[in-house]
């Protein structure tokens, strides 16, 4: 596994490990690097099959196999305890680690994640897979922003959208990897185990998320013993990109709240 270190460089600095969603790219967290890096050492990485690591996720490994990749990084860096921020699929990885290795997680931030997939999300996955199988990689990639961003934001960032399309096609992770990662998302279910996770947790959600109903985050906040819900009206699925300043401030306040 490959990873990048940003922000504070000291090995004893408070550390945040950030894990992105289905796209699996470390670059997803670019809007967070400067703000969070002033107070923390940040670890970003490409998921297996989604960039520098190459290869594919195991056929039947599920989210646990992706969490094992993170634990490989943790072992290499000899991390004792760290904060974990996960977006969507990355949040599921954080939940898996919090259940299997609770001593590692200091604080947990879950962004538009879930303990059990919603049927609506399944409909979205079916649509994207149909595009991939019947219309090809370009159609799959061009549809991706529709599930990530609000329409107004895509309109205001049309040039970026075009560049992202080109990059997404030229660096496509492969149909097999996409399908295995989506299968892992659908199979993940820790809904009846949330009470076992006692790490202080910030659950971030938006009401206008097209891919994951915000009610999934409400369920996380209600089921996790030490969770707080931060629910905003806008920002869609990629709220940390659409509203980075507000997101960064909320996360910093949570991670630096030593009394809470």
Domain boundaries, the chain: 3-255
Strand order in the sheet with 3-7: 3-7, 41-45, 15-19, 82-87, 105-111, 201-206, 227-232
Check whether 246 has a pLDDT greater than 70: yes
pLDDT at 181: 96
pLDDT (0 to 100) of residue 257: 87
- Paired tokens of 250: 């909320």
Residue 35, pLDDT > 80, answer yes
- Domain over 3-255 is classified CATH 3.40.50.1820: yes
Cβ pair 110, 140 in contact under 8 A: no
* pLDDT for the residue 97: 98
Partners of 142 in beta bridges: none
Q: How high does pLDDT run on average in the chain?
A: 95
What's the CA gap between 37 and 40, in Å, rounded?
Answer: 5
pLDDT at 198 over 60: yes
- From residue 158, how far is each of 131, 155, 244 by CA, in Å? 22, 5, 18
pLDDT score recorded for residue 126? 97
C-alpha 38 chain-centroid distance: 21
């Amino acid at each position: 596994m490959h990873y990048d270190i940003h922000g504070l460089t000291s090995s004893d600095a408070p550390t945040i490990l950030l894990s992105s969603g289905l796209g699996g790219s470390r670059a997803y967290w670019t809007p967070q690097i400067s703000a969070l890096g002033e107070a923390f050492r940040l670890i970003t990485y490409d998921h297996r099959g989604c960039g520098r690591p190459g290869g594919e996720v195991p056929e039947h490994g599920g989210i646990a196999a992706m969490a094992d990749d993170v634990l490989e990084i943790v072992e290499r860096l000899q991390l004792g305890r760290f904060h974990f921020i996960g977006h969507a699929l990355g949040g599921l990885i954080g939940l898996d680690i919090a259940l299997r290795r609770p001593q590692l997680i200091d604080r947990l931030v879950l962004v538009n994640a879930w303990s059990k997939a919603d049927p609506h999300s399944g409909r979205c996955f079916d649509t994207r897979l149909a595009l991939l199988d019947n219309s090809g990689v370009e159609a799959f990639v061009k549809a991706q922003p529709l599930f990530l961003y609000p329409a107004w934001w895509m309109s205001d960032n049309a040039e970026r959208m075009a560049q992202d399309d080109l990059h997404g096609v030229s660096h496509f992770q492969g149909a097999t990897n996409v399908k295995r990662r989506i299968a892992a998302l659908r199979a993940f279910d820790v809904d009846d185990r949330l009470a076992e996770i006692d790490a202080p947790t910030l659950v971030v959600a938006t009401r206008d998320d097209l891919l994951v109903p915000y009610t999934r985050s409400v369920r996380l906040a209600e089921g996790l013993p030490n969770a707080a819900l931060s629910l905003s009206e806008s920002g869609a699925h990629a709220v940390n990109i659409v509203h980075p300043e507000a997101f960064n401030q909320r996360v910093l306040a949570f991670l630096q709240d030593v009394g809470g």
